[in-house]
Structure 1
Amino acid sequence: MFFQLLVALVFSAVLAVAAPAASTAKLDDATITGKSVGSVQQFLGIPFAQPPVGDLRFRLPQPIPTYNQSFSATAFGPGCPQQKFVLPVLEGLPQVIVDDLFNRVYSAVFPSSEGCLTINVVKPASATLSSKLPVLVWIYGGGFEFGGTSMYDGTGIVARSIDIGSPVIFVSMNYRRLTGFGFLASKEVREAGIGNLGLQDQRQALRWVQKYIAAFGGDPTKVTIWGESAGAVSVSLHMLTNGGDTEGLFRAGVMQSGAPVPVGDIENGQIYYDSIVADTGCSGSADTLQCLRTVPYDTLKMAIDNTPSIFAYQSLHLAWPPRADGVFLTDHPQRLVQQGKIARVPFITGELCNCDDEGTLFSLSSLNVTTEGEFKDYFKNTFLPGTTDAQVDQLATLYPDDITQGSPFDTGILNAVTPQFKRIAAVQGDGALQAPRRLFLENTSGKQDIWVYLSKRFKILPLVGSLHASDLINSFFLGQELQDYIIRFTVKLDPSGTGLLDFKWPKYTTGNPNQLIFLDGLIPQVVGKDTYRQPQMDFLTQLSLQVPI
């Protein structure tokens, strides 16, 4: 994720030099003014819900009844509040200095605010009210802790769609994600019916698309939702909510490095909720949730920053993931998958689109784990608390103390920064990302069209290999093959091109588990089988069903 932030900074800076020209669109009684960049028009920072501030903090998103005042839409709105970065590896004073510098720079480049629920539309300049173009809705990632739409300008994607003769409209939205702001979790939250507010924000944005995208030349019946990391998890959870009924909000999905996560009930976050309540001085209140609505923003954010982030020692055992709340998620996501409560729409996936070495980035915070005993203790008491000694022993057998079998995979004795690093990375990547993907595929195969891929690019990167989020370069920022596949999928629900020289991406079924593999070198794409590490995946799936986060 740190890698993708650096790419986003460079990409955003390049696009900022483009000279804008005026463009307009009509929403209700309001005229909004955007800007033109070459063959593309941008309408940025449009409010899609009322600002979730004051008494609307920790409440479901409230729609805007009508637009009755014209406004400018030429700049991205501020991102939603996000977790303070605590970068892995460094310790002591150097870490404090680097973390402070990084957070200052990040906040300056990507400002945030609690009143952040805005949406962006990027369209071909040639699109008219009668164009009825397919719509690609982007949900950014960031571990449900950081990120924002200004990091992902869709201009390049729309321009590329025009170039290949398959024009689309690109939409992105901000959503409440900073841990407690968007995914507060406790018994109090369940009782109030306000769990998974970040997902509820996304759902409200999809309703906005249904109501207004025609004003930009889009077809509300041809919406594809696309996300990476936490955004991909979000896409999968939109496929699980409401008993699998899409409400007509989308007709297809694309998921990069994310699947229905192995999480449990919303009460599993009680310890973190209680910590925030204590740190904000709300412990003595008869209604702690209402008290949190009145706490000054800076005080609340500081309390949330004190809870573990994705780069803390517990890593992907996240403090604030989406959880079963009885409303958006009526049960644990993996149970809903097993029950078949899944939207039967075509989708592209790998982790649900994945990278070979998903766990390396998140294992940099556990470099102090160097022995067999420490490895077992870490997974029993930190990463998967609740596991038995027998289960941890089986885990250690399936992921042996052999650096040549760890992640980054297929790198032999290289990248073994500690004796256990590659082993931990293999377990974390498979347990949190790869195994949930396999479970999802097993319960959707034969019921809808599926395409799967694996990215093995960037293996030469030291320590991290084909790290989590590196497939963004192939799909979002540089316009390589995956971008074209996603554009074509949005238009015709099939990623393959029709030209004689176009590489054909075969569908996936469990009986014929085809997988498109992206490689470095002279042969950039091959077709293989998605069957690697099957015993390990099966064990981790069963384990996560017994001890969800």
Structure 2
Amino acid sequence: MVSYLGAFSLLLAALGATASPLAERAPPTVTLDGATVTGTSSGNVEKFLGIPFAEPPVGNLRFRLPERITEYTTDVNATAYSPTCPQQAVDLPLPDGLVDETLDEIIDLIYPVLFPNDEDCLTINVVRPADTTPEAKLPVIVWIFGGGFEIGSTSMYDGGVIVERSLDLDEPVVYVSMNYRVAAFGFLASQEVKDAGVGNLGLQDRAWVQQYVSAFGGDPEKVTIWGESAGAISVALHMITNGGDTEGLFRGAVMNSGSPIPVGDITNGQMYYDQLVDATGCTGSSDTLQCLREVPYDDLKSAQDNTPFLFSYQSLILTWLPRADGVFLADSPQALVQQGSVANIPFISGDCDDEGTLFSFSTLNVTTDDEAREYIEQYWLPRADPADLDELFELYPQDPTQGSPFDTGYLNAITPQFKRIAAFQGDAVFQGPRRFFMQQRDGKQDMWGFVNKRLKNVPLLGTAHGSDLLNAAYGLGEMSDYTIRFAAHLDPNGGGAMEWPKYSVASPQMLTFNDGLVPLSISEDTYRTEAMGKLIEVMLSNPI
């Protein structure tokens, strides 16, 4: 069916109507070095999409540090998103009989956009208010997408919505997002990778802003990095690398569902590296890493896709993720936090209430106490003291009234262990690391905490991981407003919004996003204190 607006456009064309002034505007351009970058206009914003920022990481540049473009000599048609980087094949284990509302929620969270992928993918996007000049020096928000370090694309998020909202608030910003290598292409892990100094490539695919954002009207001295999920974890890892010295690359950070995670050495991924080597016929090579560079793309992609995915049985024990490589991450992330290797900048950090539910559908065959313990021991804590496991299982009981979705009583107990495992996973990867990080930084820098409790009534999922995106990255809720103000002033408050108090151990106040008639409130970060404290302690000693 032709939409109303589409029919109206056809009528205007039939009557010989002239185009609107906005349609007649010449495409916006920006000069980078000796090149002209041509973008598109849409309402009050201008978009420059798919600008290459590094040489294509193909051939001998595969599994190497990005070779950043330092001078543009060829004009760039920046009118469409480029392909995203190679993705892990998606395998979503949905149980039979899942209610439609929950199914729709999962699909909307994970697959909002279908996007092509290609190895030649290292591009950046810039969105700014229309007619912005290089002299504007607007605050810059750099968005890092999520996807478990295995999937994701900049095209999933329309930065124009954020820029439009910033104009509504009279706090105009420039929005930047970039593709980065994911899965095996970005987070290959092994002794060979460590020896070559090419670990965590996906984290190192992010430069460019300081040199070129001023040409778009952004201020390189007012950059805030912001991410969700893997993007938020990335933000945290950028805060702790290089001894905490940002070298002036950013001055603020916002983390939605992601903090310094409990991961260990890069050699912990050796088994998956060896699996790729074996599957691609590189076993007999004297230099298996170089052999992997020379493997045909389709063969390497197929081998990667046969490794466990984000929603496989082992779930949040990810195959491909950042690990301590001795270079970008000199030690495990949480050890670096303990050592004080943290950028002394203001930050915002928070989570959804039920972070673990989305990742617990793959373990529905785990139905008894013994099976639950075996699962946690095998995948999460294989080296833990049995006494610690005993205590954790008492603190995370089978009792569904204490499981996740939290505060839903006996509802959502799709199996006897589902809510227990969901509570454990959510706290181990999201809630616990956030609380640990904020407690460690107490008194050292300005910080604000939040918890999202909206959509609590979605069956089985509750306030699931990623459910706050509509309130944040899409610019349609209070969180995006707070983030825009934070980018402008390093303080999320202002404009008549509810006052958001700073977080401290003495007063661990959290801005809380609620359903119902009271959409915002202040609560305290004291829930599951004993359970989360023990979990943090055990995970510190037993990183993934």
Structure 2-normalised TM-score? Answer: 0.92
Give 1:426's match in structure 2, choosing from 423, 426, 432: 423
Q: Which residue of 1 aligns with 2:491?
A: 494
Q: Which residue of 1 aligns with 2:536?
A: 541
Q: Which residue of 1 aligns with 2:242?
A: 242
Render the CA deviation track for 1:490-536: whole Å, top value 9, x for unaligned: 0011111143xx21111111111110000000110001111111111
Once residues 481 and 544 of structure 1 are traced to their aligned partners in structure 2, the CA distance between those partners, rounded to angstroms, is 33
- The answer on 1:344 being equivalent to 2:344 is yes
Q: Percent of aligned pairs with the same residue?
A: 61
C-alpha displacement of 1:389: 2.6
Q: Which residue of 2 aligns with 1:95?
A: none
SS at match of 1:476: coil
Structure 1-normalised TM-score? Answer: 0.91
Q: Which residue of 2 aligns with 1:264?
A: 264
Give 2:72's match in structure 1, choosing from 63, 67, 75: 67
- The answer on 1:157 being equivalent to 2:150 is no
Once residues 114 and 500 of structure 2 are traced to their aligned partners in structure 1, the CA distance between those partners, rounded to angstroms, is 38
Once residues 533 and 383 of structure 2 are traced to their aligned partners in structure 1, the CA distance between those partners, rounded to angstroms, is 18
Once residues 246 and 233 of structure 1 are traced to their aligned partners in structure 2, the CA distance between those partners, rounded to angstroms, is 16
- The answer on 1:483 being equivalent to 2:501 is no
C-alpha displacement of 1:384: 2.4
SS at match of 2:28: strand
Q: Which residue of 1 aligns with 2:215?
A: 215
C-alpha displacement of 1:165: 0.3
SS at match of 1:477: coil
Q: Which residue of 1 aligns with 2:393?
A: 396
Q: Which residue of 2 aligns with 1:297?
A: 297
Q: Which residue of 2 aligns with 1:134?
A: 139
Q: Which residue of 2 aligns with 1:12?
A: none
Kept in 1, the 8 Å contact 2:432–2:532? The answer is: yes
Q: Which residue of 1 aligns with 2:369?
A: 372
C-alpha displacement of 1:154: 0.2
Once residues 359 and 145 of structure 2 are traced to their aligned partners in structure 1, the CA distance between those partners, rounded to angstroms, is 18
Matches within 5 A, 1:35-434: 35-90=40-95, 109-177=114-182, 179-202=183-206, 204=207, 208-350=208-350, 354-434=351-431
C-alpha displacement of 1:126: 3.1
Once residues 132 and 451 of structure 1 are traced to their aligned partners in structure 2, the CA distance between those partners, rounded to angstroms, is 26
Kept in 2, the 8 Å contact 1:89–1:367? The answer is: no
Once residues 385 and 313 of structure 1 are traced to their aligned partners in structure 2, the CA distance between those partners, rounded to angstroms, is 16
Bigger Rg over Cα: 2
Partner AA of 2:201 in structure 1: L
Q: 1:523 to 1:436 in 2, by over 3 A?
A: same
Once residues 94 and 377 of structure 2 are traced to their aligned partners in structure 1, the CA distance between those partners, rounded to angstroms, is 22
Give 2:505's match in structure 1, choosing from 501, 504, 510: 510
Kept in 2, the 8 Å contact 1:380–1:388? The answer is: no
Kept in 2, the 8 Å contact 1:166–1:491? The answer is: yes
Once residues 31 and 106 of structure 1 are traced to their aligned partners in structure 2, the CA distance between those partners, rounded to angstroms, is 34
C-alpha displacement of 1:108: 8.9
Q: 1:498 to 1:89 in 2, by over 3 A?
A: closer
Root-mean-square deviation (Å): 1.6
Once residues 159 and 218 of structure 2 are traced to their aligned partners in structure 1, the CA distance between those partners, rounded to angstroms, is 15
Structure 2: which 5+ runs fail to align? 1-21, 97-102
Once residues 174 and 375 of structure 1 are traced to their aligned partners in structure 2, the CA distance between those partners, rounded to angstroms, is 37
C-alpha displacement of 1:408: 0.1
Give the total of aligned pairs.
511
Once residues 536 and 344 of structure 1 are traced to their aligned partners in structure 2, the CA distance between those partners, rounded to angstroms, is 29
Deviates more, 1:71-80 or 1:386-395: 386-395
Kept in 2, the 8 Å contact 1:315–1:383? The answer is: no
C-alpha displacement of 1:439: 1.1
C-alpha displacement of 1:344: 0.4
Q: 1:295 to 1:106 in 2, by over 3 A?
A: farther
Render the CA deviation track for 1:342-381: whole Å, top value 9, x for unaligned: 000000111xxx0000000001100000011111111011
Kept in 2, the 8 Å contact 1:360–1:408? The answer is: yes
C-alpha displacement of 1:294: 0.2
Once residues 149 and 213 of structure 2 are traced to their aligned partners in structure 1, the CA distance between those partners, rounded to angstroms, is 26
Once residues 415 and 113 of structure 2 are traced to their aligned partners in structure 1, the CA distance between those partners, rounded to angstroms, is 35
Kept in 1, the 8 Å contact 2:140–2:220? The answer is: yes
- The answer on 1:442 being equivalent to 2:447 is no
Render the CA deviation track for 1:13-58: whole Å, top value 9, x for unaligned: xxxxx97961100000001110100110000000011110000000
Q: Which residue of 1 aligns with 2:11?
A: none
C-alpha displacement of 1:388: 3.3
Kept in 1, the 8 Å contact 2:166–2:173? The answer is: yes
Q: Which residue of 2 aligns with 1:6?
A: none
Render the CA deviation track for 1:393-416: whole Å, top value 9, x for unaligned: 111100112011100000001000
Partner AA of 1:416 in structure 2: A
Render the CA deviation track for 1:103-135: whole Å, top value 9, x for unaligned: xx9799301100100000000013111110000
Once residues 114 and 453 of structure 2 are traced to their aligned partners in structure 1, the CA distance between those partners, rounded to angstroms, is 31
Kept in 1, the 8 Å contact 2:241–2:329? The answer is: yes
Once residues 134 and 89 of structure 1 are traced to their aligned partners in structure 2, the CA distance between those partners, rounded to angstroms, is 42
Kept in 2, the 8 Å contact 1:21–1:37? The answer is: no
